[in-house]
């Protein structure tokens, strides 16, 4: 099978290459695509160097499946054309809320892949992907009424330049030198910024609205959600604090058993120092880790928990490749 990756030189593009390699995905030809600026550079796949081609001149009829990981503007411009010749799995936000485009986390709603109207499949926001993989098995058993989400998102969610700036700002801060933020609204080093994406009229940010709308589309429109998204000075992995209200009663033992037996989830919850997972430990892992599971004693049928996942894998590259696997399985 022939596969193409648009945005192959970026954070997520490189991770898609890595995931395809680790999964021994059956590939005859792999086409790596990027802007004219990156065309001509080389990346390795299965110990072979592959030259990056110019996206603008690529013939998409060469690829059965094309992954797009180059941002919304590139997807807006090139995905409709690519989808005439290839199945497109798009990591940007551009097509996520299109009613004719399925928004997929395979462990949650792979049944939506059976009929594609536009040959386009959308990959959700990185924070949404790790959220719904936890909510799905709980919703099936206990009927979720409402979820309150607070995210703690790494700089890699914003791209390579913000990651580099975190390193630069950290050095400047330790040297007591002046910091001028380029990719953040305020200093990110040794700080937390309660602002991801742009503000909308009601005071939410687009990142928060994405999480709410995408979760409803993937899981259940009836679930009520609210979110606060925060950028923290971490390189990789997003963390989330969740408060989940159910219609049915539960025990903490029920929750642990359900989550530990759900695909993509792993419970690490020891009530002692260090008995939980943090972002640095989740980096490079495929699972979404769940810790700090406990009843909310202030509200009936309500649960608190903490979850962490590698946003470049579960939230992007891994989910995209698993979509491709699920699509091929459903054919």
At 23, phi and psi to the nearest 5?
-85, -5
* C-beta of residue 201 within 8 angstroms of C-beta of residue 158: no
Q: Which H or E element spans position 80?
A: helix 72-82
* C-beta of residue 216 within 8 angstroms of C-beta of residue 128: no
Query: Taking the CB of residue 248, how many other CB atoms lie within 10 A of it?
Result: 11
- Give the Cα separation of 137 and 141 in Å (integer): 7
- Give the Cα separation of 156 and 117 in Å (integer): 32
- What would the two tokens of residue 297 be? 């004693």
Q: Which residues are catalytic?
A: 126, 238
DSSP SS3 for 331: coil
- What would the two tokens of residue 320 be? 């995209």
- Give every CB contact of residue 99 below 8 A, 6+ residues apart in sequence: none
- What would the two tokens of residue 147 be? 């979820």
- What would the two tokens of residue 262 be? 């759900």
Q: Which residues pair with 243 in a beta bridge?
A: 148, 304
**Burial of 187 from C-beta contacts in 10 A (0-12 / 13-18 / 19+):** middle
Q: Which residue has the tokens 């081609």?
A: 53
- Give every CB contact of residue 279 below 8 A, 6+ residues apart in sequence: 152, 154, 234, 236, 237, 238, 239, 308
Pairing of strands 48-51, 42-45: antiparallel
Q: Which of 238, 53, 230 is nearest to 131 (CA)?
A: 238
């Amino acid at each position: 099978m022939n596969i193409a990756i648009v945005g192959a030189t970026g954070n997520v593009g490189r991770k898609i290459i890595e995931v395809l390699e680790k999964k021994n995905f059956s590939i005859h030809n792999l086409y790596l695509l990027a802007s004219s600026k990156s065309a001509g550079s080389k990346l390795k796949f299965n110990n072979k160097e592959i030259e990056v081609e110019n996206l603008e001149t690529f013939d998409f009829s060469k690829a059965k499946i094309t992954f797009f990981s180059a941002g919304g503007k590139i997807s807006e411009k090139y995905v409709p054309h690519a989808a005439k010749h290839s199945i497109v799995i798009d990591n940007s936000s551009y097509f996520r809320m299109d009613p004719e485009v399925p928004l997929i986390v395979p462990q949650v709603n792979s049944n939506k892949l059976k009929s594609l109207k536009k040959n386009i499949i959308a990959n959700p926001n990185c924070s949404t992907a790790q959220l719904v993989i936890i909510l799905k098995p709980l919703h099936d058993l206990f009927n979720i009424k409402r979820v309150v989400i607070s995210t703690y998102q790494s700089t890699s969610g914003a791209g390579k330049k913000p990651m580099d700036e975190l390193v630069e700002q950290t050095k400047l801060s330790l040297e007591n030198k002046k910091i001028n933020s380029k990719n953040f609204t305020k200093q990110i080093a040794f700080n937390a910024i309660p602002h991801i994406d742009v503000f909308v009229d009601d005071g939410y940010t687009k990142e928060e609205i994405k999480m709410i709308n995408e979760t409803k589309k993937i899981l259940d429109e009836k679930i009520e959600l609210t979110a606060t998204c925060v950028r923290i000075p971490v390189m990789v992995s997003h963390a989330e604090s969740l408060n989940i209200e159910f219609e049915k009663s539960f025990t903490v033992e029920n929750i642990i058993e359900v989550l530990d037996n759900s695909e993509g989830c792993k419970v690490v919850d020891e009530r002692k120092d260090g008995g939980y997972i943090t972002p640095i430990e989740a980096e490079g892992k495929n699972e979404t880790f769940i810790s700090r599971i406990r009843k909310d004693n202030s509200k009936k049928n309500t649960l608190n928990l903490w979850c962490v996942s590698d946003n470049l894998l579960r939230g992007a590259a891994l989910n995209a490749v698993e979509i491709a696997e699920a699509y091929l399985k459903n054919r």
